[in-house]
Amino acid sequence: MKLIFSLCLWLLSNSILLAQLNMSAAPSGQAKAVKEQYLDLEDGRRLLQAERLADLDISYQALVLEEEELSSLPATIGQYSELRYLSLWGQEALEELPEEIGQLQNLEVLILNSTGIKRLPASIGQLQNLRILDLGNCQLQQLPEGLGQLQALEALNLSANQLEELPPSIGQLQALKMADLSSNRLQELPNEFSQLTQLEELALENNLLSFLPSNFGGLVALKTLVLAENQLDQLPASLGQLKQLELLELQDNDLGQLPAQIGQLQSLVELDLSDNFLQQLPPEIGQLQALKSLFITENELQQLPAEFAQLKNLQELQLQENKLTALPRNFGKLSQLEELQLSENKLEALPKSIKRLKKLSSLNLSNNEIYLFPKNASGIKNLIALDLEGNYIEELPEEIQELQNLEFLILYDNELRNLPPYLQDLSALRRLDISDNEFEAFPEVLYQMRQLKDLILNVDQFEPTKIQTLKNRLLNCNIGPYEG
């Protein structure tokens, strides 16, 4: 995650002596250099690369061993007591570290990402100055209890391993600010996990979690929490204690309901609840006054609580693939809304208050049960994109000409029999899709719509001479069927 990289850049910008080696395994098992080069540092110094690891000056503060295959790290690594940065990224043949690694008392960054590491030595806990430990994409199945001794550790990446549990000692990492535990096999978290009171970013997606500890709310400093792709069927009430939480991702779980305490997340800016089994939302969701983006796609919502309209800062709302039959009458109070996705529901109409959404630029109502063009939507003066695909609309009302900023109008797969002459008044319209409708005759108004850049229609539905005349009139327009 971004914290790892920002801390690494900070360390490297502070005049760290850097030696970069291209290593390969010698027949004797000893590492050797395969080429020689100079490195130019930001402060103007030039360092000559050593011919062998043993020839390196032990005063080096940074060592990168990434280029050639390295099957083992020599015990002499412990002699480099000044090392602050050590990277073995991509050494797939490296399965373990020597116990002597614990002698690197000044080490601040240890990068072991994409190595073959299967276990960590007990001495890892002796690295008292270690701030960043990157073990992502390794072969770890368990962690040593000594991990909890890393009192200076701020960033821990354990993603894409084979961990089934975490040691209780992980709760002792009092300086930890970022933890990436995604893509493992974790079924639960130890109760001690909630003792990480400085933790700001936590990624746990793609595990096997079915519940969270009841004291999970003890992670009071959390700003980012990613729990997607687990098996969570409920959330603890203590979740409401995460007052600083800004991002919460819960998509692709088994949630059937949300606790009322979710309304206490006063700093929450983005919430993703997609692909769950939610049938309703608690009224308290309206208390999320900082919320700007809300995703609740692929659930089983039949209605929204009236309190939903209290989300006064909401800018993006995705509710597609639910079972909504209507929106709250006060829905228009969402005055900051810019994007509204309502496709694949059971909506028949929109509330009158929808015209109060003055900032709405994109409205998707495709694949609903709309028989009459939503006249109330014509009051949304800033609307740029309107998608009505897959409904039962037979005609367009005169009010449609009020959408003077409309650039994209999708009417594919409806029951239109004609197009009214006032459609040409949509001077900003650039893309119009009228394919798969029930036209009784060629819509003559199309000849006048020279503002179009893309016109999608079934050309074989009309006389060839009509289509050719249309192409002669609209010289700057792509005309024809949809081509994906």
Please write the tens of the pLDDT for every residue from 369-416: 999 999 888 889 999 999 999 999 999 999 999 999 999 999 999 999
Q: What percent of the chain has pLDDT over 90?
A: 80
11 pLDDT band (50/70/90 cuts)? very low
Give the number of other Cβ atoms within 10 Å of residue 295's Cβ: 20
Assigned token pair, 192: 């001690």
Q: Which domains does the chain have, with CATH numbers?
A: 1-208 (3.80.10.10)
How much is the CA Rg of the chain, to the nearest whole Å? 30
Task: Determine contact, residues 264/289, Cβ cutoff 8 Å.
Answer: no
What's the first-to-final CA gap in the chain, in angstroms?
35
Query: How many other C-beta atoms lie within 10 A of the C-beta of residue 357?
Result: 25
135: left (phi over 0), alpha (psi -120 to 50) or beta: alpha
User: Which residue is listed with tokens 């308290």?
Assistant: 284
pLDDT at position 59 is: 61
Nearest-CA neighbor of 142 among 186, 200, 103? 186
| Interior/surface letters 439-454, b for 16+ CB within 10 angstroms, e for the rest | beebbeebeebebbee
* C-alpha to C-alpha distance for 200 and 175, rounded to whole angstroms: 11
Q: What is the pLDDT of residues 112-139, one digit of tens each?
A: 999 999 999 999 999 999 999 999 999 9
Dump pLDDT digits (tens) for 128-178: 999 999 999 999 999 999 999 999 999 999 999 999 999 999 999 999 999
CA dist 5 and 75 (Å) reads 28
Between the CA of residue 462 and those of 160, 334, 448, what are the distances in Å?
57, 43, 17
* Measured distance CA(180)–CA(464) in Å, rounded: 61
Residue 39's SS3 state is: strand
- Quote the tokens at residue 336: 């900051």
pTM score of the predicted model: 0.89
